[in-house]
Amino acid sequence: KPSQKETLAQSDQVIELHANIDDQSGEQLGFVLENLIEVGVYDAYFTPVFMKKNRPAYQLTVIFKPAMLDQVCELVLQQTSSFGVRWHQLQRQLMQRSFTKVMTKFGELSLKIGQKGQFKKVAVEYDEAARIARKNGLSVAEVMQQALQVYDKKSMR
């Protein structure tokens, strides 16, 4: 049975910050996304939206912990063409998460396990699966599928 460092279900608050961007290219927005991920926000993404004057545009959303508010505001105002940002606070609930490793025929892979009451969910760590897939000329799907099978045999679930 895999060793598991169980963590309690978390309930906390996150900030969702938005900015609408219609005067910057996708090329530059890809750069902004990378910078936001690097400073440690939980998530950042673009939603295509239809604006006035026939403009295809994007709504940037950034999700992060309240302590990062000033840093994220500054980064978004500095890196994007937007002259303003708006935000609100949301309640968040996370599953109990734990981490484990499995050894497949392609090599070792990390798994994230989520638990809520009776229900259990397992996700294979993408970056490792991608590296192994690339090295072995496989699809990510095949590698992930392998890891899940080894896990299931081990945990007899």
Contact footprint for Ni ion (CB under 5 A): 16, 23, 88
- 8 Å CB contact between 147 and 102: yes
What part of residues 80-139 is at the interface with a copy of itself (CB under 8 A)? 80-81, 83-95, 97, 112, 114, 116-117, 119, 121, 123, 126, 130, 133-134, 139
Give the separation between CA 142 and CA 147, rounded to whole angstroms.
9
**Dihedral of CA 62/40/11/87: which sign?**
negative
Give the separation between CA 72 and CA 64, rounded to whole angstroms.
8
How many CB atoms are located within 10 Å of the residue 156 CB?
A: 6
Query: Would you count residue 74 as binding a copy of itself (CB under 8 A)?
Result: yes
Tokens 């950042």 belong to 44
Query: Would you count residue 156 as binding a copy of itself (CB under 8 A)?
Result: no
Query: Would you count residue 4 as binding a copy of itself (CB under 8 A)?
Result: no
Question: CB of residue 8 vs a copy of itself: minimum separation in angstroms?
Answer: 13
Query: Would you count residue 33 as binding a copy of itself (CB under 8 A)?
Result: yes
Question: CB of residue 156 vs Ni ion: minimum separation in angstroms?
Answer: 25
